[in-house]
Structure 1
């Protein structure tokens, strides 16, 4: 992913108003992000832990979506898998994140969801730059490029559900 600016991030959101996009917290460490290793930029809201944001290149520009984390399951810890990068995590390492649909459908309260790494570091887990713990990455015969393409296709499919 190419480095992006705060202005580009705010302009990319498809499922919130311009006012909401203007007020959402953008990471302050954009210059320090490992852009060469990112397929998308994802972050959690430090002031509202149930909110997260994801921005990714798409076509000629960026597409950003505001996400809401579902309430975590209470009970015994279990291993769950991210639908994008296929990394497994123990306990709360994977969360159901929902995005209000874009346009009129979203205004009517419709949303779509996907299970994602709770820290939105899928790109780093995929490349082995971040450790998910024991059993976090399954051994696959795919090349890194094939894994990245698969993850991008899964992300594109989710975004198509948000914007469609």
Structure 2
């Protein structure tokens, strides 16, 4: 069963892709731009308030996005696998595969849930991650609100 929670003042571009085989929650003021991809194939993903997902950005299922974050254009946000788990549970390559489902569940168990803190900005071709202090949060919220109003106005004119 898929649960998709969307608060009223979120803008979801019609050409973005949302794969929701599990629960996805958008809190207030989120903007998902064209050609963005948001997936949840494993467990719940949480996207907090006033986030911006730029065009062609991609966030994997094991990542939780904090408030006031910006995922830049063309960036990919993934969690890293727990390599220590794989080395400790290594199997003999000559051994016959008994259960492919067991391998898939091991892969899912070894993924680390990654939480991006509030005020995270990810940008550039090398996916640089930084955190801003939130010092001028009032101005950022004002700009974000104007952006939301502009998108609402233009989307009503187009559709």
**TM-score, scaled to structure 2:** 0.26
**Structure whose alpha-carbon radius of gyration is higher:** 2
Q: Which has the higher helix share?
A: 1
Which structure is higher in RCO with an 8 Å CA cutoff and minimum separation 6?
1
**TM-score, scaled to structure 1:** 0.26
